[in-house]
Structure 1
Amino acid sequence: MRSAEFDRSEVLQNAMQTFMEQGYAKASMQKLTKATGLHPGSIYCAFGSKKGLFLEAVNHYHEQKRMAFSQLFTTDKPVLASLSLFIDNTVQECMQNTCAKVCLLTRSLNEIEGQDPEIANVLADNLKQLENALAKQIEKAQQQGEAILPDNALSLARFFTMGIYGMRTYAFTHPNKAILEEMGKQLLRSITTD
């Protein structure tokens, strides 16, 4: 049997959008086939199962976020300026999408927690990678004498991550730009010495 040819990235992007809009449980195979343009057999052949498609969609989402993060922090800007842009981007994402599509990780963590250890571990690992990337940037800022608290960089990164995902969760029911911007400013103030 010849395998179907398709643009894997496009399929994962469309599946990712469906999982963001519907959640894991409500993203039926019928909805996923409509979104991806693949027949159920092609999805099973390429991804093994709905769960396999979901895990690849999560990895696709994570890779997009990792690339965006890298672009923010590979400039000559001070780290604090990049952290501020990171917050601004989070607010913009919350406002550009409906509350149901703010963040695949946020939605999935809230829905799947305790139900599927493999999925929970993948989601937790994605958050841990963000924490570690933030910790490296915070440590760099501390070494360069930026106005950031001298606390343990990983602890500050965990607090910052909690704040970012708290904002995303808050946006589910309160998609108010002014409130989210104030929350972001407060988050940044909470890790600085000014």
Structure 2
Amino acid sequence: MIWGLLTVLSSVPNSEPAYTWWRANTSFLDVLAGVASVATLAALWFAAVSVRHNTQARNLAVVVDLYKSLTEQREKAFHSNLYQMTEEQFYVFQMFTLMEHCCFLVNSKAVSGAARDFLVDWLDQEIPEIEDQQQFRDRLDFATGQQLAEYRTYRAGFETREAQRLEKRLRGKIGSPEHFDRVLDARRRRFQR
């Protein structure tokens, strides 16, 4: 049955190709209208992308300016002795504010490229050093609720990245799974402080 259908189809003379790019009565105006519609769609897409990028840049500029203003006002308040803090306590407070701001920028992806890489590298080096100091540990223990939420979010990702980095390094050097598990357990206990 299929063979008969194929022979009938192949015996029908075909004067037109199965698919053509242009119809026989296509005019220059039709081609121009098609190109213009594609160009319009592309322009709309580029405008939407541009608006999005401009909004992100403006938001980042607002956040940075706000942070500068807050820092200046805090400095004035500290020198006026409104906070009733020692210099050491104020430094810890300012440092955690800076860390929270950097964590916010990284977590919200407000910065990208080399600037983001710089912030991530700085945070990855600064976090373990800060958490080894008693004043900073006291401030972390004192913070509750949404205080330092961005820092805690970044810290959770940092622990994951650090564990993966350690796992890669140890798997390459040491073949004993027991040794590897002991080192990972010690590392986890250190981060749970």
Fold equivalence (TM over 0.5): no
TM-score normalized by the length of structure 2: 0.33
Higher relative contact order (CA 8 A, sep 6+): 1
